[in-house]
Structure 1
Amino acid sequence: MSNAPRRARVRAPELIGKGGWLNTGGRHYTLADLRGRIVVLDFWTFCCINCLHVLDELRELEAKHRDTLVIIGVHSPKFVHEAEHQAVVDAVERYGVEHPVLDDPELATWKQYAVRAWPTLVVIDPEGYIVAQHAGEGHAHAIEKLVEELEAEHEAKGTLRRGDGPYVPPEPEPTTLRFPGKALRLPSGTFLVSDTTRHQLVELAQDGESVVRRIGSGERGLRDGDAGSAAFNEPQGMALLDDGAVVVADTVNHALRRLDPATGEVTTLAGTGRQWMQGEPSSGPAREVSLSSPWDVAFWRGKVWIAMAGVHQLWTYDPAEGRVTVAAGTTNEGLVDGPGEQAWFAQPSGLAATEDRLWLADSETSALRWVDSEGRIHTAVGTGLFDFGHRDGAAGQALFQHPLGVTALPDGSVAVADTYNHALRRYDPATDEVTTLATDLREPSDAVLDGDEIVVVESARHRLTRLRLPEEAVRVEAVAHRTQRAATEVAPGTLRLDVIFQAPAGQKLDTRFGPSTRLLVSATPPELLLGGEGAGTDLARDLELNPEVGEGVLHVSAMAASCDDDPANEYPACHVHQQDWGVPVRLTEGAADRLPLVLAGMDA
């Protein structure tokens, strides 16, 4: 057992959500129904790459402790589309979630547990008390150790109940494709589609429907070989190389793969199969450097450009030298233009190359951005993390909602797969305006040209849809949204920011190479902060809030590194804990002058 002091026990609030339960065979659960089991609540939303990382981190834990542990996903939406029940149903299947999920479109359970960030994990013991809370990713190792302690403690007390969990898998649907991600038109005129949920690539005939062949075994894995034995893990984007080969963003394998279309042979170009974490090398021989959720790829100026969604960056892979390196982005999440090394992105998820520009869909900022020939980053449409909608017109006023794909058109304009608006949009640099090309698509995630037509990947309809490019855009009613999260009331003036971190039991802060923590603070609008912005190594900081700015968002990024505390182990395992928060605040006289944020919770 851990020797950490126990705080006063807090009873876990009930699980409520108007959307109801998924993966339970139609049954609704209460915490009383789960008494005797260890429960981990995973507060997630399906747009969030960090949340998707946590889903993958929990798979092994879930399988290992299936008779004592129940993981409950609590889906807590950011975007309007994510509050639609069918969208949550789709996401649960799309990402292979194999535990019950509570659909909480109004954030009722989120508020009861005082959650402030996606993702957040809460551990509840067999007697129904909260024992730990962790924000961000990278905590599976700490939670597993706690689960083992709780198993021993409650086995001895007689309060542990073993047995089958409440998960009931849905019936599989017999469709040709299942949540396809991206498409590529091959020189032969056929279409190569990433059949993401089935972990395969599918070649379709020129009609976009008839299957020519499938590449990949259909089981999650990282395995090279021929078309029947190779294995992928939720592949997404693809691009043609000069030699006719196809490079594939094998997203959950954190790897780039190479497909020889002539033979069907699959090999690995880049990545170690492990997710890149802060502090690791970000350049070097491609097979020796870890990647992080590569979502799309494009061949531009002799290199493969990688939309590295997992760390909010653009990387490149040099086929001639076999090396990867960071091309743009700081790993901080947001929208900042300028030189590549200073730019901020937020889940870049779609790429399209022209002679002088690399276009990208920056999904979490609902933005269309581009890289110029000098490597500088520009924004064509989009304003930041919290503004989105469906509005045509001048680029400065136009709005998207979580776009995942972008396609260069012959006239120099670009088509945007405006995913959460179920629309195909067009941005014309000549006029600096956005129009709508088509609506009533279902989660379009990519599009490819085929003569005078454009073929759209309708991910949530499991198909390719062929459209004729119209001369004039369809007019739709303008809609604008701002993310609706309850603002935290804080006092104007000095605000004490405390990021709470305690190394998990059996670990200590890693100070071998200097400070083991990092804190970065900024604000929207920037005028909200009179002092305290910028980077530092202390997890506590005094911020000076401008009383003339009534409300805004504090952007906080924190990181801490810990290692196993075992003097007998010459090479202890080390872990990085990291999280970004966007905290809406409202300045109110007499309100709290301290803002605590939990990076990794101590035992409660």
Structure 2
Amino acid sequence: MNDAVPAPTPAPAPRRRARVRAPELIGKGGWLNTGGKDLTLADLRGKCVVVDFWTFCCINCLHVLDELRELEEKHRDTVVIIGVHSPKFVHEAEHQAVVDAVERYGVEHPVLDDPELATWKQYAVRAWPTLVVIDPEGYVVAQHAGEGHAHAIEKLVEELEAEHEAKGTLRRGDGPYVAPEPEPTTLRFPGKALLLPSGNLLVSDTTRHQLVELAADGESEVRRIGSGARGFADGTAEAAAFSEPQGLALLEDGSVVVADTVNHALRRLDVATGGVTTLAGTGRQWWQGSPTSGPAREVDLSSPWDVAVFGGRVWMAMAGVHQLWTYDPASETVEVAAGTTNEGLVDGPGAEAWFAQPSGLAAAGERLWLADSETSALRWVDTEGAVHTAVGTGLFDFGHRDGAAEQALLQHPLGVTALPDGSVAVSDTYNHALRRFDPATGEVTTLATDLREPSDAVVVGEDIVVVESARHRLTRLRLPEEAVRVDAVAHRTRRAATEVAPGALRLDVIFQAPAGQKLDTRYGPSTRLLVSSTPPELLLAGEGAGTDLARTLELDPSVPEGVLHVSAMAASCDDDPANEYPACHVHQQDWGVPVRVTGDGAARLPLVLAGMDTAEA
């Protein structure tokens, strides 16, 4: 018998993380905001690099641009943000359109125009937006899909700064950003327009964060409202501040309600004095779990893009959460009117309908028309609150085709205008066209082409005045008796399909709470997963909602291709026992994954919901 005391089992050695070298940044469109210089990762060595994969049609991408501004300013000497523009729509692959978007949305960092998605593929990106963090030695250390990750990225940046300062591999100093020269135009990427009772035109001068009143000729400047600096402040015409205002609507008392988009607020303009006050919103962006009704100044909103008065209430195209909300001037309250926050095209009662970035509204009789931009659709709401689709089929089909409504195609429209005869003009933004839908005949025709990113239009007598956003002007057209015919063009989203095997497909939504946080299970399950498909026949089993982030789907082998719509949510809270009131965070991402069913396709589809160390994936 051996009486010797056994040696203790040694603790396992720490697992060594695999280091993944970041692929080079390449794109056929070249670089913007660098003073004409091409950049390589070698040029960025010594910096913490955040690569932002975005496309300018995507509201979530625009949210991320805004989220990154504070990080960009606070860590300007150690962090370089690189935008990689990866287009969804055909128009977004045009180089000049990317140039315009970079200025339009105030992007103050280098941007790589990647029209062929070369870098997107090298980094295995699956969704817009996606953020990749590269350390000062050129290795990928994290990847985040969706928005709301700026806090986690800043913590990671601070860790990288400390680590590489100690190693001597951190390089401080100015980054490669070179600001472009400003252009001296009266308007700069105007968004929406409104005919005032005086006959003058009020225009949201979006990129300059102002409202501009023009004379009836649409050119002569009468006055400006707003300081011109991005901000959120009430006050006089000179002192008030906006952040990328868009929609405008006239209230019964003669004042104007303004969709102050990036401030997530509704503002009121007193036309007589030029004074600005806030009607709704807190200045904070709405997140899952926040109140969806209540006193207007106490409820968060999310990127209201347009407004219209319908049924005695102000309706908001809440682009940021794919919903319609209303503001009641009498009770000074807001509430959700339609939409579930899921992104897609589903008609029916307001509480069940799905939208995809509604961006234009126009009231006409018993219908509220809306431009649902990401589904390239024209839709409408009836007086009972039910949602209907006039033109459009879903997230991935778009083009320029006239004819019967069920066959017609639009491309990312941003505006709708009620016409005197009961028809509707559509500012068909990415087709550079003004289109017309006639409810009486169900036909779509083209009224005008060779516009440049029209985003709104207003009827003035027998004319229609179009906001040519990318030409920085208003353009007056005579409403023609006959439409201009154009050749039909149809497209599908450029993103390559994922090849999957028929039958059982394992869907894994990978979520790891950011450093310093843990899953929040205090009030039940902390995760949610919703799955559907287009066409519905693609899924034999696995559709619907549940709380498990892993699920086995069954694909119909007789359906060769389609789109899997996946919406995932997870809640986490700060994991600090010393903090009596930890902050809680909601992480949400919607994916539309084009799939092609093939015999040798993958049997597993992994999707990353939140930030995690890629070496641990």
Match of 1:74 in 2: 84
State the AA in 2 paired with 1:520: L
Determine the C-alpha separation between the residues in 2 that align with 1:587 and 1:386: 17
2:62 is aligned with 1:13: no
Determine the C-alpha separation between the residues in 2 that align with 1:8 and 1:486: 28
Match of 2:38 in 1: 28
Shift in Å, 1:561: 1.2
2:210 is aligned with 1:219: no
2:128 is aligned with 1:118: yes
**Among 488, 498, 502, the residue aligned to 1:492:** 502
Match of 1:145 in 2: 155
Determine the C-alpha separation between the residues in 1 that align with 2:496 and 2:92: 17
Determine the C-alpha separation between the residues in 1 that align with 2:370 and 2:601: 41
2:278 is aligned with 1:268: yes
2:90–2:494 contact (8 Å) kept in structure 1: no
What do the CA deviations read for 1:330-358 (whole angstroms, capped 9, x no partner)? 00000000000000000000000011100
What do the CA deviations read for 1:397-419 (whole angstroms, capped 9, x no partner)? 00000000000001000000000
Determine the C-alpha separation between the residues in 2 that align with 1:305 and 1:31: 47
Determine the C-alpha separation between the residues in 2 that align with 1:304 and 1:593: 48
TM-score, normalising length: structure 1: 0.99
**Among 523, 536, 539, the residue aligned to 1:529:** 539
Relative to structure 1, is the Cα distance of residues 4 and 570 closer, same or farther in structure 2, using a 3 angstrom cutoff? farther
Helix, strand or coil at the partner of 1:202: strand
2:433–2:447 contact (8 Å) kept in structure 1: yes
Quote the sequence identity (%). Answer: 88
For this pair of structures, how many residues does the alignment match?
A: 602
Q: Which has the larger radius of gyration?
A: 2
Match of 1:432 in 2: 442
Match of 1:515 in 2: 525
Shift in Å, 1:562: 1.1
Helix, strand or coil at the partner of 1:340: coil
Alignment of 1:394-543 (within 5 A): 394-543=404-553
Runs of 4+ in 1 over 2 A off after TM superposition: 3-7
TM-score, normalising length: structure 2: 0.97
Determine the C-alpha separation between the residues in 1 that align with 2:14 and 2:337: 43
What do the CA deviations read for 1:465-500 (whole angstroms, capped 9, x no partner)? 000000000011111111122111111111110001
Determine the C-alpha separation between the residues in 2 that align with 1:592 and 1:574: 36
Match of 1:173 in 2: 183
Helix, strand or coil at the partner of 1:364: helix
Determine the C-alpha separation between the residues in 1 that align with 2:14 and 2:311: 55
Match of 1:155 in 2: 165
1:498–1:595 contact (8 Å) kept in structure 2: yes
Match of 2:7 in 1: none
Match of 2:8 in 1: none
Alignment of 1:228-247 (within 5 A): 228-247=238-257
Match of 2:595 in 1: 585
Determine the C-alpha separation between the residues in 2 that align with 1:233 and 1:4: 48
Match of 1:189 in 2: 199
State the AA in 1 paired with 2:530: L
Structure 2: stretches of 5+ with no match in the other structure: 1-12
Structure 1: stretches of 5+ with no match in the other structure: none
Shift in Å, 1:7: 3.1
Determine the C-alpha separation between the residues in 2 that align with 1:4 and 1:577: 29
Match of 1:601 in 2: 611
What do the CA deviations read for 1:510-568 (whole angstroms, capped 9, x no partner)? 11111111111111111110011011111111101111111111111111111111111
What do the CA deviations read for 1:287-313 (whole angstroms, capped 9, x no partner)? 000000000000111100000000000
Helix, strand or coil at the partner of 1:369: strand
State the AA in 1 paired with 2:486: V
Shift in Å, 1:4: 10
Determine the C-alpha separation between the residues in 2 that align with 1:335 and 1:119: 20
2:119 is aligned with 1:136: no
Helix, strand or coil at the partner of 2:609: strand
2:357 is aligned with 1:341: no
**Among 574, 577, 589, the residue aligned to 2:584:** 574
1:500–1:601 contact (8 Å) kept in structure 2: no
Shift in Å, 1:181: 0.1
2:152–2:611 contact (8 Å) kept in structure 1: no
State the AA in 2 paired with 1:85: H
What do the CA deviations read for 1:431-486 (whole angstroms, capped 9, x no partner)? 10000000000000000010000000000000000000000000111111111221
Determine the C-alpha separation between the residues in 2 that align with 1:354 and 1:601: 45
2:209 is aligned with 1:199: yes
1:4–1:505 contact (8 Å) kept in structure 2: no
**Among 370, 379, 382, the residue aligned to 1:360:** 370
1:524–1:554 contact (8 Å) kept in structure 2: yes
State the AA in 1 paired with 2:370: L
Determine the C-alpha separation between the residues in 2 that align with 1:513 and 1:246: 42
